[in-house]
Amino acid sequence: MAVTIRDVARASGVHVSTVSRSFSAPHLVNPETRTRVLAVAEDLGYRPNRAARALTTGRTHNLGLIVADIANPFFPPLIKAAQAQARLRDYHVFVADTDEDPKAEEDLIQTLTKQVDGVLLCSPRLTNRTIERLREEIPFVLVNRRVKGMPTVLMDVGRGARLAVEHLTGLGHRRLAVVTGPSGSWTSKEMQEAAAAMNEVDVVFLGPNPPTELGGLAAAADVVASGATGVLAYNDLVAIGLVEGLAERGVEVPRDVSVIGVDDIVAGRLGRPKLTTIAMPTAAAGRIAVDMLLQSVDAEAATGVTMLETTLIVRESTGEART
């Protein structure tokens, strides 16, 4: 059916090994021979079979990218950047979605193991123990999750949260609420710890919540009940849902309550009010994570933690506290 390396060998009158080398070790074959072989290959429409190559080299030239939820707009920029970076290195990325389910996540990793050289785990919901165990089977890079001794790319949400709290207190807010995310989320924990460590403010934590608009919508009642006038939401989706939920209860943003989100997704830049938010360098994270992963794929055991900066972007969803 398909044209193989042997067809090319026959057609160009050389041995298969020469054809193979023409592709994967050019310096070992006479330039003239190589040109001829490549021409014939081109002519026959030959394309190397990556699966076969993987068998001997042990390299599939594929990477796995596992995210909790593709539908969350936080991920696509990261995914795109990772894909682009991988292509640069002649790798392909297989994206998979776990639906926020740790069990599905583990299964996925297991099945992916033989088909990829490494896995990018974005915002995993697994336990540390499980991650450490899985690590034996295949190289990992974690994004948005800290596990001792594993290569990791983090975004400094702690600092972001501090900036957010300072911004709110600067506007005169004295009672704040943090609408937290899913329980397994490192980001959520970071936010909480940073907020809790701030002095001279009264902070209440509401959660856990699903990291979606619906989560924010549902949290609106608690926010109202809490009496907080400044809110830091787990992410922009939650913030958007929250604004909506508050509006349904006659609470207007930013007039009555100020809301800050996280991620700086496009939707937040367009609705009304435009969201004040903590911008995350997701594209950079994707690129860097891929490079770290490739490094640890062939360097046996690379490790290291990269921390990326976050920034506070002030828009319309925060305002002075009413006195």
Partner DNA sequence: ATACTTTTTGCAACCGGTTGCCGAACCCGA
Partner DNA sequence: TCGGGTTCGGCAACCGGTTGCAAAAAGTAT
C-beta closer to a second copy: residue 260 or 275: 275
Neighbouring residues of 294: CB distance < 8 A, sequence distance ≥ 6: 63, 89, 91, 118
- What does each C-alpha distance from 124 to 48, 109, 121, 143, 280 come to in angstroms? 35, 11, 6, 8, 17
C-beta closer to DNA: residue 38 or 267: 38
Q: How far is CA 139 from the centre of its chain?
A: 17
Q: How far is CA 193 from the centre of its chain?
A: 21
Q: Would you count residue 88 as binding a second copy (CB under 8 A)?
A: no
Q: Would you count residue 270 as binding a second copy (CB under 8 A)?
A: yes
Residue 25: contacted member of a second copy, DNA, none (CB under 5 to 8 Å, by partner type): DNA
- What does each C-alpha distance from 139 to 123, 219, 295 come to in angstroms? 16, 38, 10
Report d(CA 259, CA 193) in Å as an integer.
19
Binding mask 7-46 for a second copy (x = CB under 8 A): ----------------------------------------
Q: Would you count residue 57 as binding a second copy (CB under 8 A)?
A: no
Q: Would you tell me which residues interact with DNA (CB under 7 A)? A: 1-2, 4-6, 13-18, 20-21, 23-25, 27-34, 46-49, 52-53, 55-57
Size of the residue set binding a second copy (CB under 8 A)? 45
Neighbouring residues of 244: CB distance < 8 A, sequence distance ≥ 6: 213, 216, 217, 220
Question: Is residue 320 a contact partner of residue 171, using CB atoms and an 8 Å limit?
Answer: yes
Q: How far is CA 112 from the centre of its chain?
A: 18
Residue 205: contacted member of a second copy, DNA, none (CB under 5 to 8 Å, by partner type): none
Q: Which window, 113-121, 165-173, 200-208, 300-308, contacts a second copy (CB under 8 A)?
A: 113-121
Neighbouring residues of 70: CB distance < 8 A, sequence distance ≥ 6: 76, 79, 95, 97
Q: Would you count residue 301 as binding a second copy (CB under 8 A)?
A: no
Please report how close the Cβ of residue 252 comes to a second copy at its closest, in angstroms: 12
Region 89-108 residues binding a second copy, contact defined as CB under 8 A: 92-97, 99
| One residue of 5, 8, 9, 79 binding a second copy per CB under 8 A | 79
Residue 30: contacted member of a second copy, DNA, none (CB under 5 to 8 Å, by partner type): DNA
Please report how close the Cβ of residue 66 comes to a second copy at its closest, in angstroms: 12
Please report how close the Cβ of residue 77 comes to a second copy at its closest, in angstroms: 7
Neighbouring residues of 287: CB distance < 8 A, sequence distance ≥ 6: 81, 82, 84, 85
C-beta closer to a second copy: residue 86 or 176: 86
- Please give the structure tokens belonging to residue 236: 């922009």
Q: Hunting for tokens 């068998």 — which residue is that?
A: 55
N- to C-terminal Cα separation, the chain: 78
Q: Which residues pair with 96 in a beta bridge?
A: 66
| One residue of 47, 103, 249, 322 binding a second copy per CB under 8 A | 47
C-beta closer to DNA: residue 44 or 314: 44
Identify the DSSP state of 169. Answer: H
Please report how close the Cβ of residue 294 comes to a second copy at its closest, in angstroms: 17
List contacts with a second copy (CB under 8 A).
47-52, 54-55, 60, 62, 69-71, 73, 75-77, 79-80, 83, 92-97, 99, 110-115, 212-213, 217, 240-241, 244, 247, 266-267, 270-272
